[in-house]
Amino acid sequence: MTTEFDDIRPYNDAEVAEVLRTVVADPELHQALGAWLSPGLNRHAPWLLHALIKVALKWHFRGVRTVEDFQPRLRVVLKRIMDKSIGQLTVSGLDKLDPDQAYLFVSNHRDIVMDPALVNWTLYHAGFQTVRIAIGDNLLSKPFVSDLMRLNKSFIVKRSSKGMREKLKAAVQLSRYIHYCINADKANVWIAQREGRAKNGYDKTNSAVIGMFSLSKPKEQLYADYIRELNIVPVTLSYESDPLDLHKARELYAQVHKGGYKKRAHEDMLSIARGMTGWKGRVHLTYGEVLAGDYGRDADVAKAIDEQVHAHCQVFGTNQWAYDALSSGDIELPTLDTETEKLKQKVKQSREEMRPFLLRQYANAVRMKAGEAPLEEE
Beta strand extents in 230-307 (DSSP E only): 232-239, 282-287
Which amino acid appears at position 145 of this protein?
Answer: V
Instruction: Report CA dihedral (330, 331, 334, 335) to the nearest 10 degrees.
Output: 140
Nearest one of 16, 14, 27 to 74, comparing CA atoms: 16
CA dist 241 and 339 (Å) reads 7
In the chain, what are the domains?
68-311 (3.40.1130), 317-369 (no CATH)
pLDDT at 116: 95
Q: Is 334 exposed, middle or buried (0-12, 13-18, 19+ CB in 10 A)?
A: exposed
Nearest one of 146, 121, 152 to 237, comparing CA atoms: 121
CB 179 within 8 A of CB 230: yes
Cβ neighbours, 10 Å, residue 68:
11
pLDDT at 36: 76
**104: helix, coil or strand?**
strand
pLDDT at 140: 81
pLDDT at 39: 86
CA dist 124 and 351 (Å) reads 42
CB 314 within 8 A of CB 286: yes
CA dist 71 and 223 (Å) reads 36
Beta bridge partners of 89: 283
How many residues would you count in the chain?
A: 378
pLDDT at 244: 94
Global pTM value: 0.94
CA dist 5 and 322 (Å) reads 45
pLDDT at 264: 74
CB 304 within 8 A of CB 248: no
Collect contacts of 255-259 with beta carbons under 8 A, ≥24 apart: 255/377, 256/357, 256/377, 256/378, 257/353
Nearest one of 271, 273, 282 to 317, comparing CA atoms: 282
Taking only the tens of pLDDT, the chain with its 378 residues reads 568 999 999 999 999 999 999 999 999 999 988 887 888 998 999 999 999 999 999 999 999 999 999 999 989 989 999 999 999 999 999 999 999 999 999 999 988 889 999 999 999 999 999 999 999 998 787 888 889 999 999 999 998 888 999 999 999 999 999 999 999 999 999 999 998 888 999 999 999 999 999 999 999 999 999 999 999 999 999 999 999 999 999 999 999 998 888 877 667 667 888 899 999 999 999 999 999 999 999 999 999 999 999 999 999 999 999 999 999 999 999 999 999 999 999 999 999 999 999 999 999 999 999 999 998 765
Nearest one of 210, 198, 224 to 360, comparing CA atoms: 198
